């Protein structure tokens, strides 16, 4: 899969910008604060409808503007597709696919990206929430319809939690709670099953990526750790762990049992104590957990291995949602400055054959020579492309070459 055109309107620092991308590596170079990350953030937004930097959409809209528009054209599985999403503050986004109206959700999974950025250190050192998001994004890339289950789970969880608080004040009729338990368990079962499958597939790729970037660093192992294999008031050895191939229905049943077992405690505390929102991705270096034990450099290598492993897994994925063209766009946002020469070289060696890589760097010399590819200079929100079209002749995602859409 390859991005060929990107067009931004009132996105971040850009009033209007058009960028064309070739295959292989493109490096965006410019001093700090000039708008490099803003460009790759827009590409990543199209793939997940979320930013890798902020949780809400508001900062993505140009300050003072009413909306932002990201448009793109991609080549996927031999077809050319155009995508557009409009971000509206405080309202639902709207979207277009090949010029027709579409649900924003329909765009998810068409563009696949894997972003590695300095913020990723939190994947290793930070709270479980970041690792859950990492797993969920990977699951959605592998299986886009799961994004609906994730959104529904969040909604049901919020409603159930407020019901628990009400139940604390007015004990009695708990029929409604039973209904919410069933919904939560059904959605939770599907989410936990998808995450366990994704992590089991990811593990060998992470192990091998870590061996590449930290050849003397030992084994990096990842494993799904679930609240369903724990039980308050019981010893861990008394709880039979879920079978490796447990189905979504079996996991849902286990979650329902846990909710029944925990109900009094939940009513007391007003929170849901079991389910995918309490789970984690366990990362180990050798015997020890990476969090709390790994050095700064080892943590960086682990974070890089998680992203490179995801990239390799998605590239190898030939499932129905990969469109026979699963290889994602790899985005390396400001990471070379953080890597020593050995890791830079290891990363470069892995990427020379990648179908599309977007790199941002404040200092061009930080990017290994073998990787620099086409260089786009970014200064004060202006994008200077080697073959920029003359003013008035800019191509757009809807008609990059004046030809009609191949897909209708």
Ligand X SMILES: Nc1ncnc2c1ncn2[C@@H]1O[C@H](COP(=O)(O)OP(=O)(O)OP(=O)(O)O)[C@@H](O)[C@H]1O
Q: Is 301 in the site for ligand X (CB under 6 A)?
A: no
Q: Is 18 in the site for ligand X (CB under 6 A)?
A: no
x/- mask, Mg ion, residues 324-363, rule CB under 5 A, reads ----------x-----------------------------
For the CB of residue 53, give the shortest distance to ligand X in the complex, in Å.
8
Q: Is 27 in the site for Mg ion (CB under 5 A)?
A: no
Q: Is 35 in the site for ligand X (CB under 6 A)?
A: yes
List, as own/partner pairs, every contact residues 87-91 make where C-beta atoms lie below 8 angstroms and the sequence separation is at least 24, other chains included: 87/11, 87/57, 87/60, 87/61, 89/57, 89/58, 89/61
Of the candidates 4, 7, 34, 37, which one interacts with Mg ion according to CB under 5 A?
Answer: 37
Q: Is 13 in the site for ligand X (CB under 6 A)?
A: yes
Q: Which partner from the list ligand X, Mg ion, none does 126 bind, CB cut-off 5 to 8 Å by kind? A: none
Q: Which of residues 343-372 bind ligand X (CB under 6 A)?
A: 360, 362
Q: Is 63 in the site for ligand X (CB under 6 A)?
A: yes
The interaxial angle of helices 296-316 and 175-213, nearest 10 deg, is: 100
Selected range binding ligand X among 54-62, 265-273, 278-286, 316-324, rule: CB under 6 A: 54-62
For the CB of residue 124, give the shortest distance to ligand X in the complex, in Å.
21
Cα atoms found within 13 Å of the Cα of residue 254, Cβ hemisphere only: 25
Pairing assessment for the beta strands 280-285 and 288-289 based on DSSP bridges:
antiparallel
For the CB of residue 30, give the shortest distance to ligand X in the complex, in Å.
5
Q: Is 9 in the site for ligand X (CB under 6 A)?
A: no
In this complex, which beta carbon is closest to Mg ion, that of residue 33 or of residue 100? 33
Q: Is 47 in the site for ligand X (CB under 6 A)?
A: no
For the CB of residue 300, give the shortest distance to Mg ion in the complex, in Å.
17
Selected range binding ligand X among 30-38, 100-108, 181-189, 243-251, rule: CB under 6 A: 30-38
For the CB of residue 243, give the shortest distance to Mg ion in the complex, in Å.
44
x/- mask, Mg ion, residues 84-113, rule CB under 5 A, reads ------------------------------
Q: Is 6 in the site for ligand X (CB under 6 A)?
A: no
Q: Is 322 in the site for ligand X (CB under 6 A)?
A: no
Say if CB 283 and CB 222 are below 8 A apart: yes
CB atoms within 10 A of CB 127: 10
In this complex, which beta carbon is closest to ligand X, that of residue 306 or of residue 331? 331
Q: Which partner from the list ligand X, Mg ion, none does 13 bind, CB cut-off 5 to 8 Å by kind? A: ligand X
Q: Which partner from the list Mg ion, ligand X, none does 52 bind, CB cut-off 5 to 8 Å by kind? A: none
**Footprint on this chain of ligand X (rule: CB under 6 A):** 12-13, 30, 32-38, 59, 61-63, 334, 360, 362
Q: Which residues are near Mg ion by CB under 5 A?
A: 37, 334
């Amino acid at each position: 899969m390859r991005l060929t055109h990107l067009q931004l309107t009132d996105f971040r620092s850009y009033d209007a910008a058009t960028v064309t991308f070739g295959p292989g590596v493109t490096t965006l170079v410019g001093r700090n604060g000039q708008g490099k990350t803003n460009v790759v953030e827009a590409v990543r937004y199209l793939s997940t409808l979320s930013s890798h930097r902020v949780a809400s959409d508001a900062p993505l809209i140009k300050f003072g503007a009413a909306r932002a528009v990201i448009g793109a054209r991609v080549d996927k599985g031999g077809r050319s597709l155009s995508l557009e999403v409009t971000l509206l503050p405080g309202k639902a986004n709207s979207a277009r696919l090949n010029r027709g109206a579409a649900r924003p959700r329909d765009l998810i999974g068409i563009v696949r990206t894997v972003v590695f950025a300095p913020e990723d250190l939190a994947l290793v050192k930070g709270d479980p929430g970041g690792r859950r998001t990492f797993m969920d994004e990977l699951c959605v890339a592998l299986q886009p319809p799961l994004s609906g289950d994730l959104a529904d789970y969040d909604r049901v969880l919020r409603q159930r939690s407020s019901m628990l608080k009400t139940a604390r004040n007015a004990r009695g009729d708990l029929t409604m709670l039973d209904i919410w338990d069933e919904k939560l368990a059904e959605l939770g079962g599907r989410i936990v099953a998808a995450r366990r499958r994704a992590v089991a597939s990811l593990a060998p790729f992470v192990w091998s990526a870590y061996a590449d970037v930290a050849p003397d660093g030992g084994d990096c192992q990842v494993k799904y750790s679930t609240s369903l294999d724990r039980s308050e008031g019981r010893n861990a050895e008394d709880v039979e762990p879920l079978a490796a191939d447990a189905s979504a229905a079996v996991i849902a049943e286990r979650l329902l049992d846990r909710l029944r077992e925990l109900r009094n405690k939940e009513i007391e505390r007003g929170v849901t104590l079991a389910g995918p929102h309490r789970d984690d991705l366990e990362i180990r270096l050798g015997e020890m957990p990476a969090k709390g034990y790994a050095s700064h450099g080892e943590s960086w290598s682990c974070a890089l291995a998680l992203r490179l492993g995801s990239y390799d897994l998605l590239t190898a994925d030939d499932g129905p949602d990969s469109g026979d063209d699963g290889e994602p766009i790899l985005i390396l946002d400001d990471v070379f400055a953080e890597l020593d020469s050995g890791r830079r070289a290891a990363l470069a060696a892995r990427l020379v054959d990648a179908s599309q890589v977007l790199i941002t760097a404040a200092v061009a010399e930080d990017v290994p020579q073998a990787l620099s590819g086409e260089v786009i200079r970014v200064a004060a929100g202006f994008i200077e492309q080697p073959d920029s079209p003359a003013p008035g002749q800019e191509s757009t995602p809807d008609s990059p070459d004046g030809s009609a859409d191949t897909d209708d």
